């Protein structure tokens, strides 16, 4: 079975597919961040780069290659940093699920979504989170292909007035909308009233569940840092049975 057909992929192959959408790159058995950068530069990692007709004098040392010509670089290609942000965003939202081992000897299990708030992948396929590390991380191939299809959709250019269309009827302009009267301000936005409430309890419960799944102790201070809630909001909805005895008020 080729690396592309495996049911789950390590982070380096997820990056390769989300960036280049090239099966040959994903199938590279020696794919590393450096080789991925070479693939993305517009030259093949398996063939020598083109040299000018007249070799430089003195010749380049063995192992050094000339930079690819500008004509070989796809200027529409997003950067690898932008692709990394897309992967982390999909992982935080749960659209891309990962499995891994908490500690090198840990049992493989699903990585909680909240781990991707501060977590970052390294070159060895591990997710480094402050305080601990998930090793041997892998994502389902089917989810990767669903998020980044093989052929990215190409937006058709807008047609100009007077130019015949390609068969797709253009929408007729509708009557310009009349300016609506702004709704009266609600009491939630007035001074002295609390802002529009968010589902703070659900955020706190999700954080506690993620920490329990990771085998780590949830704390209110860590919850504030990971969820973005205020300390007062976290303390207000924090379950009483999860408050240490020394922190309870008499």
pLDDT in tens, 175-208: 555 555 555 554 444 444 344 345 788 888 888 8
Confidence tier at 39 by pLDDT (50, 70, 90): confident
Alpha helices in 109-219 (DSSP H): 115-118, 141-147, 200-214
CA distance 9 to 87: 13
Surface-to-core class of residue 33, CB atoms within 10 Å of its CB (0-12 exposed, 13-18 middle, 19+ buried) = middle
- Taking residues 83-105, report their average pLDDT: 91
Answer whether the bond into residue 58 is a cis peptide, omega within 30°. yes
Q: What share of the chain has pLDDT > 90, as a percent?
A: 32
Residue 166 pLDDT > 50? no
Tokens of 194: 């609390």
β pairing state of 127-129 and 120-121: antiparallel
* Better pLDDT: 20 or 58: 20
pLDDT of 140 > 60? The answer is yes
Question: What global pTM score does this model have?
Answer: 0.53
């Amino acid at each position: 079975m080729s690396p592309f057909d495996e049911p789950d992929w390590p982070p380096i192959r997820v990056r390769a597919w989300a960036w280049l959408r090239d099966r040959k790159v994903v199938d590279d058995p020696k794919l590393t961040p450096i080789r991925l950068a070479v693939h993305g530069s517009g030259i093949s990692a398996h063939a020598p780069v083109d040299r000018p007709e007249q070799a430089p004098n003195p010749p380049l040392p063995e192992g050094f290659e000339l930079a690819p010509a500008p004509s070989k670089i796809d200027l529409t290609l997003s950067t690898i940093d932008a692709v990394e942000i897309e992967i982390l965003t999909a992982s935080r939202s749960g659209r891309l699920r990962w499995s891994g081992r908490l500690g090198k000897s840990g049992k493989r299990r699903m990585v909680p979504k909240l781990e991707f708030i501060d977590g970052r992948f390294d070159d060895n396929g591990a997710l480094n989170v402050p305080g601990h590390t998930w090793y041997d991380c892998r994502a389902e191939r089917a989810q990767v292909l669903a998020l980044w299809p093989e052929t990215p959709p190409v937006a058709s250019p807008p047609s100009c007035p007077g130019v015949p269309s390609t068969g797709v009827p253009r929408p007729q302009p509708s009557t310009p909308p009349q300016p609506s009267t702004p709704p009266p301000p609600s009491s939630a936005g007035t001074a002295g009233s609390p802002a529009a409430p968010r589902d703070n309890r659900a955020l706190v419960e999700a954080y506690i569940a993620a920490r329990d799944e990771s085998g780590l102790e949830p704390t209110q201070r860590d919850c504030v840092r990971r969820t973005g809630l205020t300390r007062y909001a976290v303390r207000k909805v924090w379950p009483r049975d999860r408050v240490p005895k020394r922190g309870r008020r008499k």
